[in-house]
A and B are shown apart, each in its own frame.
Chain A
Amino acid sequence: MTTDSVSAGDDPRRLLSEVRTLAHRVRLDQRLTWVALLVLAGVTFLGIPFDWFGMKVNCTPDGVCEFARRGVLYYWPLASLLAYTAIAVLYVRAARARGLGARVLPYSITGAVTTLLFTATWVAAALYFPSHPQRFPEWVLVFDRLIAPWGMIGVALLVLARLERNLALLAFTVVYLAVVLVPINFGWVDHSSTRAEFLPQQVINGGVLLLGAAGFRRWQR
């Protein structure tokens, strides 16, 4: 860079190109994607025992079981809010140490809103469905997975990808959401135990987030 004023006839293309390069560099320096994914992976793995031990299961002698995932309802609202707060604090601290402001606030707000949305939906379902049992078509189950904490993590990550203009994170989030919404089952789901039935998917969700954290850490983006 020089200190000379640019004449009106100077190359506007070069100026615009420099503007874009500088803006891109700042965005890269503001990112802390791997930390966000690591925190979310940690929260996901920590939630597994809460779901396992907090689940209320009532089976009749003829083998029909009713269950209520109370552990999810007790653990996830608080855990999510703490996770989004922790991510915001870590982003702000890291950006500040680099001499920058952070762009994380809309992500944390989205995280809080999705947490409220999930909690309200699950509380409503817990109040309504015990007295109105029914079988759902597949599309309702996909929506159910989206509104669950693991789906809401993906929705909030889409916002983070937009804020950071981070194409790699967008691609990762699309894959993550596909895994969450269309569960992978290679026959390892144990249908003999209601508790065990939900275990593999949570391990996979946490594993994908952990792999993402490792990948973004490796490439620092």
Chain B
Amino acid sequence: MTDAHPVTGLDDVVHQRVRLGILTITHEARRVEFGYLRTQLQLTAGNLSQHLGVLETAGLVEIEKGYEGKRGRTWITLTPAGNAALAEEIGRLKLLIARVEEGFTA
């Protein structure tokens, strides 16, 4: 019996470039503002909102809206499930790379 291929365990919510980028930045920053994410990921506001909605529905991020002075600010934080999902995704990506390299050397 062989181990399941790492691809079979990939989570469609996380295994997507933009959403993986959102999770990575939020994990590294602890807390990140909507505008920073938009600039770093080079997305339109609508596009980013859609991805954040997917992540929020999956319980991977929390979105907090507030004001600083008269300016509206939206802050995003990672939930414990989001942290775990990101670690899992990175682990699986590393496994995939290892499998590909094994394939080349076999």
Q: List residues of A whose CB falls within 8 A of some B CB.
A: 1-6, 8-9, 12-13, 15-16, 18-19, 22-23, 25-27, 29-30, 95, 98-103
Q: Is the CB of B18 within 8 A of A26?
A: no
Name which of B28, B36, B93 has the most chain A CB atoms within 10 A of its CB. Answer: B28
B73 to chain A, nearest CB (A): 8
CB neighbors of A among B43-86 (8 A): 43, 47, 50-51
B4 within 8 A of A: no
Which residues of B have CB within 8 Å of A15?
Answer: 17, 20, 93
Q: Is the CB of B29 within 8 A of A12?
A: no
Query: Please, which residue of chain B has its CB at the minimum distance from the CB of A14?
Result: B17
A13 to B30, CA, bound (A): 25
How many CB-defined contacts (below 8 Å) exist between A and B? 83
Which residues of A have CB within 8 Å of B42?
Answer: 1
**What count of chain B residues pass the 8 Å CB interface test?**
35
CB neighbors of A among B12-40 (8 A): 12, 15-18, 20-21, 24-25, 27-37, 40
A16 to B101, CA, bound (A): 15
A2 to chain B, nearest CB (A): 7
B24 to chain A, nearest CB (A): 5
Q: What are 21 sample pairs from A and B whose C-beta atoms fall under 8 A apart? A: A1-B17, A1-B21, A5-B16, A6-B16, A8-B7, A8-B10, A9-B7, A12-B96, A15-B20, A15-B93, A18-B21, A19-B21, A22-B25, A22-B28, A23-B24, A23-B25, A26-B28, A26-B32, A99-B35, A100-B30, A103-B30
A152 to B34, CA, bound (A): 38
Query: Please, which residue of chain A has its CB at the minimum distance from the CB of B12?
Result: A5
Query: Please, which residue of chain A has its CB at the minimum distance from the CB of B36?
Result: A99
Q: Is the CB of B21 within 8 A of A22?
A: yes
Q: Is the CB of A3 within 8 A of B31?
A: no
A102 to B31, CA, bound (A): 8
Q: List residues of B whose CB falls within 8 A of some A CB.
A: 7, 10, 12, 15-18, 20-21, 24-25, 27-37, 40-43, 47, 50-51, 90, 93-94, 96-97, 100
A161 to chain B, nearest CB (A): 17
Q: Is the CB of A27 within 8 A of B97?
A: no
Point out the residue from B31, B50, B93 that lies within 8 Å of A16, measured CB to CB.
B93
Q: Is the CB of B32 within 8 A of A100?
A: yes
B5 to chain A, nearest CB (A): 9
Which residues of B have CB within 8 Å of A27?
Answer: 28
Which residues of A have CB within 8 Å of B34?
Answer: 99
